[in-house]
Structures are given as C-alpha cells and as structure tokens.
Structure 1
C-alpha cells in the first residue's frame, strides 16, 4: 500500500494554477476544466497552450499572459489577462473567388459581401470552404484571413485566396497492376473518365467501389501526377480469381424402396476471362425425382461503350417421361450505380407434353411470352471474406404475359423475390436471414408450368425440386459461429408456405438441422444435415437429408 500511493503521488507532483486579472476572469478560465496535476514541466506548458487556444476560440483573441512562476517545489502559477471579449468575426469576401451557395452551408448570418462566424467556427468553416474550392478543380488553392480590424464587440477581416491557377482537368488515366482492366468499367461503373474536373476526394470514393466487383480489387488508394499543363491519375488495381465451380451431392432414403438415392448438380461460372467484364454460366442438375435441368447463360456489360448491357439465357427442363420445357430469356440492363441495377426483359417458354392426354390431364402443350422489369441490389462483403463473399442482396422481378394453347389464350402475371442479409453480431457471431418466393397468377394452371422448389438452395431437408406450386415463399435462417478464418458451423431452421391450385392444397413446411463450411485449398466445402416435415406430419429421422457441396474459385 505504501509503495502504491507513494509512487502515484511522486508521478503527479506539479500543481498548475491559472489566474485571471479579476475574479470574473478566473471563473471563465476555471470553466475550461483545465488539468491541474502534471508529471513534468513540459506537460504544464502544453496545458497552458491548450487553455489559450480554448479561450481564443471563445472570442478572447487579445489574451495576454505573464511568465510562468514557480511558487514552491510543487506549485506553478501563471496569470492571464483576457482583455476584451469579441462575439463574432465578420469576413468580407469576393464573389469571384467564392460562391454564395457555399456560404449558406456554414452560416445563417451572411450578406452579398460578407458572412459572420463565431470564433469557435472559424477553423472548421475555412477548412470546409477550402476543400469545396479544391473539389471544383483547384487543388492548390488556399484561403487565409487578412487585414484584421477591431470593432466594438466584433472583428472584421478580409478573406484572401491564393491566386486561382488554371482549373485542373483529368487528362490521363493509368491503371497499374491490371493493365487490361476493362475501360468500360472505368467510364460507366466507376464513372471516372478523361476531361472530367479533377476531384481527388470523389475519385478516391469511386475507386473504393471496386470492392463490389468480384474480378478486381484496389491495391492502394489512387494517386495524381500534376505537371504544368496536364493531370494524370494512377489507379492501382489487382485482377482477382473470379471463376467458380460449384457442385453438391445429396443422398437420402427413398420412402417407397427404402434404398439410398443420390442427386447432384454442377454450376460453372466464368467471369472476365476476356478482360471485358463478361460472364458465362453453365448449370446442370439431376435429382432423385428423375428431373433434369440444363441452363446456359451469358452477360455482356456495356455494349459498344454504352451503359447498356445484355443478358442471354437458355434453360431446358425435363421431367422423366412426362414433359419438357424450354425457356429463352433476353434482358437489357442498366447499371444505376455500383450496387443498383435495373433491367427489362423478354421471356419465351415452350413446353411439350410427352404423355398421352388420358394419363395426366394437368399436363398440356403451351407457349408463353412474358415482358418483365427487374431490380437488383447487390452488396459484396467489404472485408473480402471468402466464407461469406456477399453481405446482402435484394432481387425483384415482375412479368406480364400470356399463355397460348390450342385454342385458348390466357393472360398471366409473375412475381419473383429473393433477398438475404448477414447481420454481424461481432467478429465471430452472425445471423443469416434469407427469403425467396414466387407467384404465378392465372385463371387455370398446368403442372408443367408450376414452380418447383425444395432442397439445399431453398428449404433444406426435402428432395430437390420435389414440391410443385403456383405460389411459394421460403424463409431460411442460420446462426453462424466462425471458429477460424476458414471454418464455421451453423444451425438450420427453414420455414415455407406454398399453394397448388391444381391439387387445391395449402401447406406449411419446416426444416431443421446443422451444417458447417470449411475453406480448403480446393474451395469452400459445405456439409448440411437437415430434416424436413410438413405441418401435419410427424417428425421422422428417415426424412433427413445430407447435402454436400464444394465451390471452387479459379
């Protein structure tokens, strides 16, 4: 106890007293709550300078002080003469150097030739004005106050700006690290192009948006090179591995044969291999319900150096020997910003009945045409987390069209929604919420036009695409705990609701389980164990499903 208190007393052995010329001035000084105990003389001197700065910001700009006096071994004293108190500073300016719209942003007290500031606002306000002038293409301009004049209870000064040099225009853009970075992404995605007014702050903000491109990333902040007659911008960009191969293997017990059945799929995505920002996808799925899906799609952004891109897709589906469906899709999209995208599309669907009409009256030949509008919001994980690369997504599509059969024509509408978000609780814990659903509105329905859902990518614990519906909604939740940078475990709780007008059924579904994800040298390996049940059915272990997937990036 003796050593503890003696050491504390010895380390704070200097007491500072700041006194005013009058008791009133001393009261003002004490209101600054300055530190009185210090460990050495340098700390005392710094505190005195700090108090002076505070008082000057309060309007005591003519403050004077005597020399620091040492009263004894532990007490130092100094006297301040605050002199006159000034309420505000009136700054006169020229409209040629400063726009009145900027003045409105820093004060409410202004006139065509001057504006008023309290002394505490001066520093921040002048810095703000200087930055705004710099953003208009004059990065080397500086503001200062000159010709100070004392009035009754205020001070006047003239605002002087250094001579405005020629406005800086961006003449050249140089990409370092990824020389073949697509120029169209500079112009339309980042919106950085030559002949723009040079604004380094905006350029830095725009370059940070590279985090929303999966095939490129920023190595370090951009830099500018100024010469007498030109301005060059240097961007430091790295090309990322963005091709992915995703597949899964699922197996479970067939309720009729009590034998294990397997199902799976592969999903190949090739991105930016031609350094154009393009993407190509190949998808194939075969499941235990004798259903086969084949889909190929491509996306070409910024056609002919315009902000318009095109998406093309072909999808073929076959249900055992019952029917086949071919879908062709064309979309023209426009990038509103780095995260927001809108599109208008045309979809043509042709379906053929492979059975005789006496076997299944709910399957019929038809042709459909839909015109659609789409909005998408996509936010990649800013930390470039390979376990969870996308932090949030929102996708909505509305389609209006008609279905043609012999001899009838039926008007139809479609709505599709997909949204998810990762809520970070702390560095290791997070909650994943996802919802997706679709509605087909029609006067009557065919089985071969209904939505199909169920499985690892919708409600887990059910067979892949085993549930048919004209309306469905799925809600997925996961509590995730990240054990390390390459390993996490999670819970599974899924709920769904669907309607099938053909069978006049309305059902609620539930899925429970556990899962894990491991980031290996080969890619992201996922293992899910889930059990699914209908609302009115009993829980049974035989209904459990094990889903295995591996997503490789190359």
Structure 2
C-alpha cells in the first residue's frame, strides 16, 4: 500500500489500517527517532563532517539517503572515487520519560564504508568534436596529473568550460583506472600512498564558425505612423580556434544609420584576463551624430561570473539651427557580470550585470563630473520540461551637475524589441529608468516555444530647454511570440502593442539566426 510505504519512510513502522467499516482508518502509531549516526570503515570523516543536525531527530529515509550521498561525495573529494557505502539500522524500544506507557523506537544508524583505495588523477583524456586549441582548454581544466582525486575539480572543470561561449557542451565519461608500477609513487611518508591513477574522459564539443542573424521590424503607431527597420548582425566565433569573438551589427532606416563592432579574446598573455574592445557610430540626419569606443578587461570571479574595469569614451554632436554642438566624455566603470545561456526547455538560465562608474565631460568651458549605476538581472525558470517563466529587471540612473545637458545618445534609450516591447525602437530617452519583462513559455520541443509577454516600467525624462522640471513616463506593452527551430538555427516572430494604442496594428518583429549566433545571445 502506497500510504503505508510513505509512512514507513518517515519512521512510522507500526502503521496498520482499520478496514472493518466503509471508511479506512489509518493508525500510524509512534514515530521512530534516530538517536545517532555512526560512520565505520574510514578514519577521514565522522558524522559532524557532513551533518550539523542535532540528535535525536525524527526518522526520515529521504534524509538518510541524502546524508549517504554526501558521505560518498566527501570521500570522492578526498581521493576515494570508488568508495561504497552500506547502511545498518538497529532499533531499541524506549519509553518517553514524561509518558511512562508511550513507547517508541530509538534507532542507531551505521554507515559502513569500503574505501577501495586512494587514487590520484591521471592526465585527462579530451575527446569529442573539438577544434579549440588544447592550450586554451587547459586553462579551464582543474584536473591535474598527479594531484589527489577530487570530484569537486571535475565539476569545476565542467562549469568553467560551459561558461565559455566557444564551448557548446562538456561532459565526463566513465572513470578509468590506469595501472602503474609501484615505483612511480612517492616513498615519502608525508604523502598519501595511491593505489593507482584515474583518468577522467572529457567529452567536449565547441562552437566554431560564422554566426548570422537578421531582423525586420514593421511598426504602426497612432502618433509616429508606419515605419520599417532592419538589423543585420555577423558574429565570428572561435574561427582561429583560440576562443576569439568578433561581432558587427548594422541597423538602418530612412534617416537613421547605426554601426557597431566588437572584438574579444580570452586568456590574454596566458593568464586569466579577458579583453573586449568596441567601436561604433550612430547618425540621425539633421539631428545628431554619435561616436563611441569601449575597452573592457575582466577576470574570472566564479564559474560564469567575471569582474573587471571598462574604459569608455564618446563624442556627441547635435545640431541646433544647423549649428553643430560637440560634447566629449571619458569615464571608467567597475563591471561585474554573469554569462547567460540561450533559453531551452527544462534548463535554468540566469543573467546579471552590475556597472558603476564616473567620468568627466566639458560643458561651456567647465569640467563636469557624471556618475552612473546600472543593474540588469534575469531568470529563465523551468516549471517542468514544457513550461517556463522568464523575468527580467533592468535599471539605470545618471547623476550629474544641474547645468549639464545630456544629449539623446547619452541617455538610457528605451522602447522596442530589446526593452519594452510595444513601443517604437528607442522611443524614449531617460536620465533614470527601471523596467521589467515577464514571459510565459510553452515549449513544443527543446528550443522552440510559444510565449506571451508583458513589459512595463517607468522613466524620468531628461530636462529640455523649455521645461522647468523633469517628468515621469509610464510604459506598458504586451504581446505574443513564437520561436521556431529551422534548418540553420531558429526563427522568431513577435507581435506587440502598448496599452495606450487602441487603433494601430502594433509592431511585428521577425528574426532569424543560425546556431553559432544563438549560442551568443537569447
């Protein structure tokens, strides 16, 4: 009976059912308690090494199973990859001192360990569809020949490899014992005596090639009329097998042109230093011109996490009555970010970036200081294989002198496909903004999904010459989308409209990208 089995696992060993009447009455009896857990067969750990719970405590088979798993993991981190564990349970009938006739069982649990020898790592075996330079891969492999076997180093290796854009997958095969002569092991009594060495097969597949994606957006608006825009992006990933990445993005419409180029490489000078350089320009006819550049250096903080510094500068030219006005800016940011993964069925994906920094600009002969702080956080949370929720929060604020007039290109431009859907691309320019994106996905296969979304936020408009105060702008958009796997990668179609529009058809965004491009963005 399923109910009795469940109660047994919780320590109700004397459960019985009364079925004399039409109603089944379950009598669970008294719950057994674990008086202590004893570990035998090894001298390198005791129960305090893996469990901080107090005893006696109610019997729970699931809890004991978890403790047994922790015990084997602990042994695996101390050089014993082939340790085995068996459980012995002894019970004693005891009376509650406060209730003389209330009897229950006290249980003593014994974990009996068979260590099966201490092992060291052999040279790992790298296999799979891999073209990436072996020297580059070695930076992320924590399995070193001759070191004591440690299961934590295997997991660390997988996490570090998977955090690189140029690695598509990283798995481990079955451990293999390498038989070696006794003379190869040290006779130093201060070092452990190894029974042998263990080779860990690493099955790796990398991302290499040309990434291409493009998008077309058709927008109808009650205030701005109809508009057609296009975006084209080319990515070069690991083409020379040293983890390098290059990206070129072009966006254009009738009176607007945008171009951005970024280049990046890992492990500069053979150390844990990652460099990215960017350059771009933006021109809007008879309105403004914008030229910018960035140089970022980061290092690993944890798997998937990096931190570092970013140098940046730009020059903005605006036209007032056909007279150009130039502004220059130079600054330094502290950056901490987490690498994200593409959204996939049943997989958790996290996103985070924090930036804070300051810089100086010249205005009317005076040198002014600006500060800014930006925060982005996102989560793709699978409810099960078919269903998932997505939540994303973006915020930013610029602090500057009262006399400093920020140009449009220096503000947080919001609206459109990458921010609050349902509005024209870059429809708003804010000195401070916070907005959220929410999505519900239904996956019909591993990478294809249908989803609904709602975005909303609030921003503070930058003060203009005819305003005495800054105004708040509320935003809310909603829509539906579908992401479809195609032969070269995947395609997506989204329809969105904002809450103020009642007569327009809204906006349609169509995009397509290949597998390499999909590995570098969502």
TM-score where L is the length of structure 2: 0.71
Structure 1 residue 313 displacement after superposition:
0.9
SS in 2 for 1:542: coil
Equivalent of 2:358 in 387, 396, 400:
400
Q: Determine the structure 2 residue equivalent to 1:352.
A: 317
1:311 matches 2:256: no
Q: Determine the structure 1 residue equivalent to 2:472.
A: 506
1:455 matches 2:416: yes
Q: Determine the structure 2 residue equivalent to 1:261.
A: 227
Aligned positions of 1:334-483 closer than 5 A = 334-353=299-318, 355=319, 357-358=320-321, 364-380=325-341, 385=344, 391-443=349-401, 444-448=404-408, 449-483=410-444
Equivalent of 1:173 in 94, 101, 124:
124
1:552 matches 2:514: yes
Structure 1 residue 368 displacement after superposition:
0.9
SS in 2 for 1:189: coil
SS in 2 for 1:336: strand
Does the C-alpha gap of structure 1 residues 160 and 205 become closer, same or farther in structure 2, counting only changes over 3 Å? Answer: closer
Q: Determine the structure 1 residue equivalent to 2:25.
A: none
Does the C-alpha gap of structure 1 residues 126 and 506 become closer, same or farther in structure 2, counting only changes over 3 Å? Answer: closer
Structure 1 residue 549 displacement after superposition:
1.3
Q: Determine the structure 1 residue equivalent to 2:503.
A: 541
Q: Determine the structure 1 residue equivalent to 2:215.
A: 248
Q: Which runs of 5+ in 1 are unaligned?
A: 1-30, 37-56, 60-86, 109-119, 145-154
Q: Determine the structure 1 residue equivalent to 2:169.
A: 217
Quote the Cα distance in structure 2 between the aligned partners of 1:501 and 1:473.
15
Quote the Cα distance in structure 1 between the aligned partners of 2:232 and 2:512.
10
Whether the aligned pair in 1 keeps the contact of 2:80 and 2:116 (CA below 8 Å) is: no
Quote the Cα distance in structure 1 between the aligned partners of 2:84 and 2:387.
48
**Cα offsets for 1:271-322 (capped at 9, x unmatched):** 222222221111111246x332211112211112211111111121212232
Q: Determine the structure 2 residue equivalent to 1:193.
A: 144
SS in 2 for 1:304: helix
SS in 2 for 1:397: strand
1:489 matches 2:447: no
Structure 1 residue 205 displacement after superposition:
5.8
Does the C-alpha gap of structure 1 residues 225 and 496 become closer, same or farther in structure 2, counting only changes over 3 Å? Answer: same
SS in 2 for 1:529: strand
Does the C-alpha gap of structure 1 residues 388 and 497 become closer, same or farther in structure 2, counting only changes over 3 Å? Answer: farther
Does the C-alpha gap of structure 1 residues 442 and 488 become closer, same or farther in structure 2, counting only changes over 3 Å? Answer: same
Higher relative contact order (CA 8 A, sep 6+): 2
Quote the Cα distance in structure 2 between the aligned partners of 1:517 and 1:423.
17
SS in 2 for 1:203: helix
Quote the Cα distance in structure 2 between the aligned partners of 1:305 and 1:333.
14
Whether the aligned pair in 1 keeps the contact of 2:290 and 2:314 (CA below 8 Å) is: yes
Instruction: State the number of aligned residues.
Output: 439
**Cα offsets for 1:409-440 (capped at 9, x unmatched):** 11001222222212323332322222223222
Structure 1 residue 550 displacement after superposition:
1.3
1:325 matches 2:290: yes
Quote the Cα distance in structure 1 between the aligned partners of 2:146 and 2:315.
50
Does the C-alpha gap of structure 1 residues 241 and 130 become closer, same or farther in structure 2, counting only changes over 3 Å? Answer: closer
Does the C-alpha gap of structure 1 residues 35 and 211 become closer, same or farther in structure 2, counting only changes over 3 Å? Answer: farther
Q: Which runs of 5+ in 2 are unaligned?
A: 1-11, 18-31, 53-60, 87-107, 185-196, 465-469, 517-522
SS in 1 for 2:175: strand
Does the C-alpha gap of structure 1 residues 358 and 130 become closer, same or farther in structure 2, counting only changes over 3 Å? Answer: closer
Does the C-alpha gap of structure 1 residues 134 and 425 become closer, same or farther in structure 2, counting only changes over 3 Å? Answer: closer
Quote the Cα distance in structure 1 between the aligned partners of 2:213 and 2:472.
33
Whether the aligned pair in 2 keeps the contact of 1:368 and 1:403 (CA below 8 Å) is: yes
Q: Determine the structure 2 residue equivalent to 1:148.
A: none
Quote the Cα distance in structure 2 between the aligned partners of 1:219 and 1:160.
28
SS in 2 for 1:528: strand
Quote the Cα distance in structure 2 between the aligned partners of 1:407 and 1:178.
60
Structure 1 residue 329 displacement after superposition:
0.8
Q: Determine the structure 1 residue equivalent to 2:189.
A: none
Whether the aligned pair in 2 keeps the contact of 1:461 and 1:543 (CA below 8 Å) is: no
Equivalent of 2:43 in 98, 119, 128:
98
TM-score where L is the length of structure 1: 0.67
Q: Determine the structure 1 residue equivalent to 2:91.
A: none
Q: Determine the structure 1 residue equivalent to 2:8.
A: none
Equivalent of 2:78 in 129, 136, 152:
136
**Cα offsets for 1:488-513 (capped at 9, x unmatched):** 32223221212123233321122122
**Cα offsets for 1:438-497 (capped at 9, x unmatched):** 222111223242232211111112221222221222222222223445643222322121
SS in 2 for 1:105: helix
Structure 1 residue 207 displacement after superposition:
2.6
Structure 1 residue 378 displacement after superposition:
3.2
